[in-house]
Chains A and B, each alone.
Chain A
């Protein structure tokens, strides 16, 4: 059994520093196991969020060797023998303690998105090929790693103007629901700031559920918004109707 060196961020909103730990490595072990070992044997108060340890809940998002990752899904055997492994909290959200960050902003944004709205006399027939687009987005486990790597949120901290990739696909999912009748295009443009996304696809790359956030979610959403606001016919109609 080999021994791995981990350097883990310990601290809070006021600041902190790396602390080094040595952890024995067993076959198939993941970084979250190493953090459990630290809790049980060195520092019982090391703070990390986790729930399922099976990559289904999206709680244990961290930055491992600088790369946003689920700690439960990052195997220790992906690192070279003797390589020091750093574990940091996700950067786009304020640190509470150690690896735990304040992600409450996401829940506020989520609440603002107009919910699924069917017609009153809906007949509940939907076909598989029509629900699959929405199903892709509903695989989201809300790990918020796409929010974490999005330049608009991470580097420019424009949480005031842009809802982030997670909520772009939530809006897209509603818009693409075969039985939804609400128009969220104005919301997508005005409130959620879909125009801020410059399609660098960092969110898609980091998604642990392999959701094609940009290609299947954001770009079609942008197109819908463009159709509404920049379609010359629609523009003319709005002028005529005074809307």
Chain B
């Protein structure tokens, strides 16, 4: 076969968003030879788009805040389906992980006393989100990037990993290609950390960047790892609606955190009907359903959304606290949000489901394979609270980095059989050789339509089943793809493999959605509108690759110890 490079490291981190960078920093600090491999240039990962803030019970603004309250908020937001161990570590460790960013040069907005300022967000009892205006993600990724490039990590930019390699049960390497040259590359490693983010590009309207094609989910699945709770995908309540070109782009929850009000076409502040206590700052699943329902029942804005207005806070305040939103609407929609309302509608934002990991080290069910950040499942249960993603990737990025480095320590590298590599290479080159076949762009658009229509905010058995049937047809069509041009920086070719990943995660989402016959968090079944706390609320969905097909099963959740469950009964 054609020549390819080989690199050998103790630990390979795939993905260079917040979780990947934090994992690589920790792995390297533990003394492991660490590689960071990413599809884009460094610093461009999806974390850059996070806006509102990072949740941590620093108690700088609301002094009553503590990890117990953050833990409880997270579990309640996740409808008690969360991996309690992860939610516990997360609540306890987030403050130190945020302070650490400050030690590394981050400049968060300040309180009058000169400490890190915190803002209100949906589902959080206290003002808890450390932030930098509405560009918190950019601040975090720059800080981690800066720390990372001075941490002795080898960075492989614009390099796509397509296959994980195993020796027996254990993961021993990864294979992929350089986007620029199209040449293949092999990584030998004793531990691999997936930090590949989410799956939003399977949907037509999404706040996610192009990289969110479920690579980590699908590679883990193919390598035999279990995925957990894949039916739970978060539709962020507020995405842009108009013009069509920007539909789905995120409107940060910080707009509501800073006092933004939602109204319908009749001028009614409709959240009074759905959650009179928390109003606009209810959890994302509730607000998304409320907006969807208002539009469905004919009370939508001119372009089919709800009105979101923060102009009453005054032009100076809005521009200072929400500068990106101000520019976003000014430049893309000709709307001045300091003067009037925006139009918003739910947009695909975040997948709660992911690679099943244990909280201590983020190890998956496959030895040597770890996962952190959005690609990992369990932490957020059935619905994620805003701000808990940026803290998740710091807490579990660090834990995964440490876990992988410790695991890899002292292991020797396995030989990778040449015929295995040749098989991967042939599979990837196939679309160049096919004389007939489908256009990957067309199938991608068709998949996005299917997911948008059938696996959306509200679901029914009939809809989901139609979706599954259509995904099956798309899988067959995607068997034979044909593309033009050379192997050099060829987006059409890149999409061929991404498409395969998106089809796997789409199928997992749909099959889990069909199986869960209740409504819980972000999973809303019109035909089963109630939550079944006694039975289904105590079961996780488990997806695995068995006998050549996707298997969906359930497994009892791990019950939390008494001293933690007491926290919840004390409230009653």
**Which A residues lie at the B interface, using CB under 8 A?**
12, 26-30, 33, 39-41, 43-59, 73, 75, 96-98, 100, 103-104, 107, 110-111, 115-116, 118, 124-128, 131, 134-135, 138-139, 141-142, 174, 177, 180
Contacts and interface: CB of A to CB of B under 8 A. Distances in A.
A110 B40 CA distance: 17
Contacts of A138: 107, 132, 138-139, 142
B14 interface: no
Given A59-B44, A126-B114, 18 more contacts: A12-B488, A27-B243, A28-B246, A40-B442, A43-B485, A45-B490, A45-B492, A47-B490, A51-B40, A97-B180, A104-B157, A110-B149, A111-B149, A111-B150, A115-B146, A131-B110, A138-B132, A139-B135
Contact of A27 (B244, B249, B445): B244
A44 B492 contact: yes
A96 B180 CA distance: 7
11 contacts: A12-B488, A28-B246, A45-B491, A56-B138, A59-B44, A75-B331, A110-B149, A111-B149, A118-B103, A138-B132, A142-B44
Interface in B397-449: 439-442, 445
A44 B138 contact: no
A5 to B, nearest CB: 19
Given A51-B40, A125-B114, A44 B491 contact: yes
B126 interface: no
B490 A29 contact: no
Interface in B478-492: 483-486, 488-492
B42 interface: yes
Interface string B157-190: 1000000000000000000000010000000000
Contact of A57 (B48, B115, B117): B48
A129 to B, nearest CB: 9
Contacts of B484: 43-45
Given A52-B209, A110-B149, A142 B43 contact: yes
B489 A28 contact: no
Contacts of B440: 44
Given A46-B491, A116-B146, A124 B244 contact: no
B49 A115 contact: no
Q: Counting chain B CB atoms within 10 Å of each CB, which of A27, A44, A48, A125 scores highest? A: A44
A111 B151 CA distance: 11
Given A29-B245, A177-B105, A47 B209 contact: no
Nearest to B493: A45
Interface in B122-158: 132-133, 135, 138-139, 142, 146-147, 149-150, 157
Given A57-B44, A127-B110, A47 B489 contact: yes
B332 A28 contact: yes
Contacts of A29: 243-245
Contacts of B104: 116
A107 B157 CA distance: 11
B71 interface: no
B77 to A, nearest CB: 26
Given A110-B149, A116-B146, A131 B107 contact: yes
Q: Counting chain B CB atoms within 10 Å of each CB, which of A39, A43, A97 scores highest? A: A97
Q: Counting chain A CB atoms within 10 Å of each CB, which of B40, B44, B210, B211 scores highest? A: B44
A50 B44 CA distance: 9
Contact of B491 (A48, A53, A75, A134): A48
A97 B489 contact: yes
A96 B103 contact: no
Contacts of B43: 142
B244 A45 contact: no
Contacts of B328: 54-55
Q: Counting chain A CB atoms within 10 Å of each CB, which of B110, B135, B245, B250 scores highest? A: B245
Given A44-B439, A44-B484, A54-B249, A135 B107 contact: yes
Q: Closest 3 CB pairs between A and B?
A: A28-B243, A44-B492, A45-B485
Q: Counting chain A CB atoms within 10 Å of each CB, which of B135, B211, B491 scores highest? A: B491
A115 B245 contact: no
Contacts of B49: 52, 54, 56-57
Contacts of B117: 128
Interface string B86-112: 000000000000010011110111100
Given A45-B484, A53-B209, A96 B489 contact: yes
A103 B110 contact: no
B41 interface: yes
Contacts of A33: 245
Nearest to B141: A57
Contacts of A53: 209-210, 249
Contacts of B139: 138
